[in-house]
Chain A
């Protein structure tokens, strides 16, 4: 069975989804979905171990050799991503039973788990595959289920957010489809490995240039890179809390992965960073994203929305690291992908707990929560500190590497701007702390109890991970560094 791990990674949640539909009873379905996601998590750990030991694993689907068939190609980069996605998915699912109790009407609970597993399948499929068109197919699985999951939110604005996301997402996917079509037309192949061998010969053609532009713009739409981020705040604010916690930690990460995969592995580093002024463009967009989104976050009254804007800012950091195009820079980006997944899933789950007890996540309803829900609020504080990048949290580790990479290149002004951006995070996190600990509770709120254990356990697992990986960085740094080195072709 060990030889089949790459495909099991994707088909376990895939097959579990229709089985959930047959099981029907929401309670059973929850346990089953948790089980399937847990198996996927174990699979990803085994895969990562195997990849770190023996190098890239290739799995030919249908027994057909690539490029005639589709292959799965697991290297250090996507093994790392698979681990992040399945880990977050499993921890978030632990809280799902309580989480959807009040936010989704009971007859839809089974369908919620089906869609959740399909979304997980889609993301895993995108990351695991080595075939450009297969990316498109699994991208659509994850997107369609995402639109539906967001639309399950109670507020009518969730419907509108889902619709906007559907339009933007489909435009993005169609752009990617056009780009893949052009690449295919010029090379005759869809296999990424094969593409990377054939593209350099024709890299000077205008068609390949256009293909590159369409793929990148399409991915940036999915990535919510500033200024293409407009769909994200609404989608994250009005989706059910569990869905937000899951997507905030994984969906944009998958897009970052695609960006890295297409620029580094398919088009190749020299092509990607010389044909377009990609480096300058992305640095500017990344920095603008950090500042505009962080500033907008400061003025939000809805805390879910506040953290949604903060997510856009965090994408900015990842993009800055990516566009340095050095081993350290990419390491910083990959570390931040992992670390940001830990922080944001913890924070949004904690907001889910607040939603569960208080029924709202408006800043004014946070007044006095520090005493009423001490454990949940403590989690939000630690998560916030991690977001700022305080030492002993994971946020510090990735910012540290980002600064190292910038200084390595001698880009002092950018380094200073990145630090200034972190100061903005202090302000928006402080507003929550101030409301929760320094304001008296509202008069008419009645008796608010601490969040139930089913929420607290997953939240604190993630928070402790935030601290643990902030202190013991061996595992994350070594994997991220190895992945980054292999993409640059050094240290092989």
Chain B
């Protein structure tokens, strides 16, 4: 196997994960760089959804099919990551709902949902 072939194999074998990394990092960037509390939560959902994509990608098998047993199918994709991510999605929506509820209460008591302004109000001077 020559080097060029190796690189191509690596590219086609891994590009999926690389894109997922980019997606995760965009979400992560929104969480830490943006000051708007709603936007932060949206960033968090992007971050988490991208992690889900990573998990689901790893379970995929070439030529496989959805893991529901049927006759004359021999190759199934891996069901375990699906199970894990079903749970993780539920955890994600639970966190989102709670975060949004907090944002509503913060808006009511601070009058704003911008991080800089809130911190300015808490530490005057």
Q: Which residues of A contact B (CB under 8 A)?
A: 133, 136-137, 140, 144, 147-148, 151, 156-157, 159-160, 162-163, 166-167, 170-171, 174, 177-178, 181, 184-185, 190
How many chain B residues sit at the interface, stated as a range, is 20 to 34
Decide yes or no: A177 and B31 within 8 Å by CB, A159-B109, A167-B44 being known contacts.
Answer: no
- Counting residue pairs across A and B whose Cβ atoms lie within 8 Å, the total is 69
**Interface 0/1 of B79-100, CB less than 8 Å to A:** 0110010011001001100110
Interface residues of B in 110-125 (CB under 8 A from A): 110, 118, 122
Which of A140, A160, A184 is the one whose CB lies under 8 Å from B122?
A160
Complex formed: what's the CA distance from A185 to B17 in Å?
12
Given contacts A159-B102, A181-B54, 10 further A-B contacts (CB under 8 A): A137-B91, A156-B106, A160-B106, A162-B102, A163-B106, A166-B99, A178-B24, A178-B54, A181-B55, A190-B80
Complex formed: what's the CA distance from A136 to B40 in Å?
22
Complex formed: what's the CA distance from A151 to B110 in Å?
14
Which of B28, B51, B80, B102 is the one whose CB lies under 8 Å from A147?
B102
Considering the complex, give the chain A residue whose CB is closest to the CB of B84: A133
Complex formed: what's the CA distance from A445 to B106 in Å?
32
Q: Which residues of B contact A (CB under 8 A)?
A: 24, 28, 31, 37, 40, 44, 47-48, 51, 54-55, 58, 80-81, 84, 87-88, 91, 94-95, 98-99, 102-103, 105-106, 109-110, 118, 122
**B59 to A: closest C-beta gap in Å:** 9
Complex formed: what's the CA distance from A312 to B105 in Å?
28
A157 proximity list for chain B (CB < 8 A): 122
Complex formed: what's the CA distance from A246 to B122 in Å?
25
Complex formed: what's the CA distance from A184 to B51 in Å?
14
Considering the complex, give the chain B residue whose CB is closest to the CB of A133: B84
Which of B44, B51, B118 is the one whose CB lies under 8 Å from A178?
B51
**A150 to B: closest C-beta gap in Å:** 10
Considering the complex, give the chain B residue whose CB is closest to the CB of A143: B95
A133 proximity list for chain B (CB < 8 A): 84, 87
Name the prevailing secondary structure of the A interface residues.
Answer: helix
**B125 to A: closest C-beta gap in Å:** 14
A160 touches B98 (CB 8 A): no
Which of B28, B87, B109 is the one whose CB lies under 8 Å from A171?
B28
A148 touches B98 (CB 8 A): yes
Complex formed: what's the CA distance from A89 to B48 in Å?
32
The 22 sampled A-B contact pairs (Cβ below 8 Å) are A133-B84, A137-B91, A147-B102, A151-B102, A159-B102, A159-B105, A160-B106, A162-B102, A163-B37, A163-B103, A167-B40, A170-B48, A171-B44, A174-B44, A174-B51, A178-B24, A178-B51, A181-B51, A181-B54, A181-B58, A185-B58, A190-B84
**A261 to B: closest C-beta gap in Å:** 19
**B65 to A: closest C-beta gap in Å:** 20
